[in-house]
Structure 1
């Protein structure tokens, strides 16, 4: 990967309980492709990461509160998983409204593992073809999505993946998916 995302600014929306590798590895792929990223969260300071939901896995510094962010500020959105992370995001009005505005913008969104839960809360999955961690597939179906069991699934502006095991394919795919978008935010 060269500099396919040079000049692009990507929002990563996460909070405590984020699965470390699902934030860290995609962010590394985005950096490697020339993108800038900002970690948005529902509280300032740092967010606590987890490994397989069970073990503490360090922290990540928050760049900006989601309540102070706008979809207009970013070229694409990444929603990492971890069970606790999207469960908290979907209960936060600012996070859900941010995702809704991103969906409405048509800009690319990538979600992995439990990340699509926030898309469900934003009422954005109806009629979409998606994949996810197996335990939330019923939620996706009940919200009107067509759920498949594939490594990476792209449907319009959405890209989804199942689990940390799919990260190599997901990381390659998000760079390609985000690079296809012609939208660019200033500065």
Structure 2
């Protein structure tokens, strides 16, 4: 199972990147860091700079066909930067068009709002996105993990870092059941 982690050059909440990344590895999968620029991305612990991570692939060179699923980590700035990048938005939307599963935590649904893929879906997020999700035609709920089967693919969303254990278990189960090649 090869999983794309789409992040901006800075602003990703580190634990929302590293915990799901490790979960994919522990499940025998291959996580790949996809960003809008090459080099290294700067992660944050809330508002404080944390570690940097090497980019595996620039989104302009990435195709949905290469991946079995997409994880969108949060952080306030990360999805805000991503939603301003047409290629990043198109890449995220491409997973929905291809019927592949997508997992998003915390502020990450902002990228999905921009991709116009939340309409008719029920999802959760950090509470401040509630109005954005509703205005984009989605239904917002305050739940630890929300599964939303919409068409051929599944969207898994979660609210915050405290939900990471349940989030990782949920998306790994869905990614494995989605018929992904090499899934555990």
TM range (shorter): over 0.9
Alignment counterpart, residue 160 of structure 2, candidates 147, 151, 163: 163
What runs of 5+ residues in structure 2 fail to find an aligned partner? none
- 1:184 aligned partner: 181
Matched, 1:125 2:118: yes
Matched, 1:44 2:38: yes
- 2:68 aligned partner: 75
Paired with 1:85 and 1:179, the residues of 2 have a C-alpha distance of 27
- 1:66 aligned partner: 59
- 1:5 aligned partner: none
Paired with 1:50 and 1:163, the residues of 2 have a C-alpha distance of 14
Paired with 1:146 and 1:94, the residues of 2 have a C-alpha distance of 26
Shift of 1:180: 1.0
Alignment counterpart, residue 134 of structure 1, candidates 100, 118, 127: 127
Q: TM-score, normalised by structure 2?
A: 0.94
Paired with 2:105 and 2:93, the residues of 1 have a C-alpha distance of 18
Paired with 2:174 and 2:132, the residues of 1 have a C-alpha distance of 25
Q: Residue 18 of structure 1: SS of its match in structure 2?
A: strand
What runs of 5+ residues in structure 1 fail to find an aligned partner? 1-7
Shift of 1:175: 1.0
The count of residues paired between Structure 1 and Structure 2 equals 177
Paired with 2:53 and 2:132, the residues of 1 have a C-alpha distance of 29
RMSD of Structure 2 on Structure 1 (CA): 0.9
Matched, 1:10 2:19: no
Shift of 1:58: 1.1
Paired with 1:66 and 1:141, the residues of 2 have a C-alpha distance of 28
